[in-house]
Amino acid sequence: MTNKLEGKVAVVTGGGGGIGRGISLLAAKEGAKVVVADVGKRPDGTKAADSVVQEIVRAGGSAVASYGDVTTMAGGASIIKAAIDNWGRVDILVCCAGTSERTSIFDVTEEQFDRTIAVHIKGHFTVAKAAVPHMAKQRFGRIITVTSRGAFTSIRPAYGTAKAGVMGFTFALANELEPYGITVNSLSPSAVTPQFTTALDKRSGNDGMPRLGLSGDPEY
pLDDT tens-digit map of 100-122: 777 889 999 999 999 999 999 99
Confidence check: pLDDT of 190 > 80: no
Distance between alpha carbon 126 and the CA centroid of its chain, in Å?
Answer: 13
pLDDT tens-digit map of 147-166: 987 777 777 889 999 999 99
Residue 175: how many CB atoms within 10 A of its CB?
10
One-letter identity of residue 81: K
Question: Could you tell me which residues come within 8 angstroms of residue 86 by beta carbon, excluding any fewer than 6 positions away?
Answer: 33, 35, 64
Contact 220, 191 (CB under 8 A): yes
DSSP 41: B
pTM assigned to the model: 0.86
Mean pLDDT rounded to a whole number for the chain: 88
Nearest Cα to 77, choosing from 28, 13, 138?
A: 13
Q: How far is CA 10 from CA 25, 100, 101, 142, in A?
A: 11, 25, 27, 9
Given pLDDT bands bounded at 50, 70 and 90, which one contains residue 213? Answer: very low
- Tell me how far apart the alpha carbons of residues 111 and 135 are, in angstroms, rounded to a whole number: 34
Mean pLDDT across 187-213: 52
As a residue count, the chain comes to: 220
Given pLDDT bands bounded at 50, 70 and 90, which one contains residue 183? Answer: very high
- Tell me how far apart the alpha carbons of residues 220 and 213 are, in angstroms, rounded to a whole number: 14
The kind and range of the H/E element at 13 are strand 9-13
Residue 114 pLDDT: 96
Q: Could you list the active site residues?
A: 159
Residue 24: how many CB atoms within 10 A of its CB?
32
* Longest distance between any two alpha carbons in the chain, whole Å: 51
E strands, the chain, are 9-13, 33-37, 62-66, 92-95, 141-146, 182-187, 199-204, 210-213
Cα atoms in the 13 Å half-sphere on the side-chain side of 193: 22
Q: How far is CA 148 from CA 40, 161, 189, 214, in A?
A: 21, 11, 7, 18
DSSP one-letter string for 191-206: ---SS-S-EEEEEE-T
